[in-house]
């Protein structure tokens, strides 16, 4: 039995509509950004637009700052709220496999899907923005997206942590910790802000993967 494949089938049934909607939304925002930039070039001339991007830290697509993290949070809600409704997580944990492997597979499915969506979005945006802006601006755009993508992935893990937590008191604590850690990724939207903070982003990401296991153990112990 391929555990990951078998569990992914379940997760896919829950999330497939959401994945399609998110894919369309990300594509729509990318196209919107393209239209917005071409319009700005026509109105303000290319040199001024380029200047904004290169020297003033203007974002190629500031909407992505909201859409990417929100998609991560929504993905976790769609995946884990049904698991906690009527405590269905018991059914999943009762499957004949180690509980750590079961939870890891569910989380890795979510991270994998989101990563694929974000990766496709970055490639698509690089291609269409590359048609109207120089590669330097495209590179800056990718750097600017990096903390937002990290926030999307980490937001997914932290929301899963909040959903799986059985006690409301602890859930509120989890929310506060999550907001605190995610806010680190929104200090500034300037493209180079996080170039020396790769380790920090990795730490936030790893925390978002590890924390849900703590609440899973609490769920297993029947804490209410």
**Which residues of this protein are in contact with other proteins, per CB under 8 A?**
1-2, 5-6, 9-10, 13-14, 82, 86-88, 90-91, 93-98, 219-222
Residue 5 vs 176, nearer CB to other proteins:
5
Residue 13 vs 31, nearer CB to other proteins:
13
- Residue 4 CB, shortest distance to other proteins, in Å, is 11
For 197, the 3-state DSSP assignment is: coil
Q: Which residue has the tokens 């989101």?
A: 114
Contacts of 139 (CB under 8 A, 6+ apart): none
Residue 14 vs 171, nearer CB to other proteins:
14
Q: Where are the alpha helices (DSSP H) in the chain?
A: 3-44, 46-55, 64-84, 89-93, 99-130, 135-164, 168-183, 198-220
Q: What is the dihedral of CA 29, 34, 40, 42, to 10 degrees?
A: -150
- Residue 1 CB, shortest distance to other proteins, in Å, is 6
Structure tokens at 63: 């909407």
- Residue 215 CB, shortest distance to other proteins, in Å, is 14
CA distances from 52 to 20, 118, 202, 211 (A): 33, 25, 30, 40
- Residue 219 CB, shortest distance to other proteins, in Å, is 8
- Residue 56 CB, shortest distance to other proteins, in Å, is 47
Residue 81 vs 123, nearer CB to other proteins:
81
Residue 180 vs 222, nearer CB to other proteins:
222
């Amino acid at each position: 039995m391929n555990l990951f494949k078998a569990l992914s089938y379940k997760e896919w049934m829950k999330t497939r509509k959401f994945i399609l909607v998110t894919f369309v939304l990300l594509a729509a925002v990318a196209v919107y950004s393209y239209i917005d930039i071409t319009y700005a070039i026509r109105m303000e001339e290319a040199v001024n637009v380029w200047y904004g991007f290169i020297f003033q830290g203007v974002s190629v697509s500031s909407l992505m700052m909201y859409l990417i993290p929100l998609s991560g949070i929504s993905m976790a809600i769609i995946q884990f709220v049904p698991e906690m409704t009527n405590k269905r997580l018991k059914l999943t944990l009762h499957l004949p496999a180690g509980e750590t492997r079961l939870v890891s597979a569910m989380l890795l499915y979510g991270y994998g899907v989101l990563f694929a969506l974000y990766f496709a979005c970055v490639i698509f945006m690089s291609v269409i923005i590359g048609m109207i802006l120089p590669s330097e601006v495209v590179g800056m755009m990718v750097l600017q997206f990096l903390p937002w993508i990290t926030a999307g992935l980490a937001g997914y893990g932290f929301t899963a942590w909040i959903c799986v937590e059985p006690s409301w008191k602890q859930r509120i604590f989890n929310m506060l910790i999550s907001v605190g850690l995610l806010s680190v990724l929104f200090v500034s939207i300037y493209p180079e802000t996080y170039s020396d903070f790769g380790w920090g982003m990795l730490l936030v990401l790893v925390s978002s993967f590890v924390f849900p296991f703590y609440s899973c153990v609490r769920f297993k112990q029947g804490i209410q």
